[in-house]
Amino acid sequence: MVNQRYFHHPVLGYVVLRAVKDKGLCSVHFQEDKPPGNHARQSADPVLKQVEQRLLHYLNGEPVRFDDIPLHLEGTEFQLQVWHVLQDIPWGETRSYRWVAEQLGSPFASRAVGQANGQNPVAIVIPCHRIVQQNGQTGGYAFGSYKKQFLLNLEKHHQQLQLAFFTKPLPVQANSARSMTLL
């Protein structure tokens, strides 16, 4: 049995989550229209609730890990290998299709990596949006390039704020020989 939850995001549209009961998360995708009919009910599936909460934190700009979420993925052996490599790409960083191909020992398989990347059934949870072209261009995304750019900007902006907060010294103004004031 497949259970479903969804929520609406102003840029991504409806974020639809599906899980196979007692097996794990099988789908995270974005769609413009509200899920129809019987699928509109929100499942109480604990995996879906956990993923929904983490995605909400993620979309608020908080780094979130998904590596402990049980997944139930169907794909070719190559697709599963690609998706496994994608899970190791840190928040706020990108890698090229070629880099993924090299990790798999097939440096000339960039196009095949792109195909597998585009078939990723669990967007964000397996961060296929972090894969860009060798020249730094964003490249394609199954849900639209603007959504990919939104996700990359979300992560990059938060990473820059963290670096600014933790690496810049606080400005100090000397008021006298004995005291200093933090600005």
- Distance set, CA 132 to CA 59, 128, 129, 140 (Å): 20, 9, 8, 8
CA distance 10 to 128: 21
Q: Which amino acid is at 10?
A: P
Give me the active site residues, please.
128
49 contacts 63 by C-beta, under 8 angstroms? no
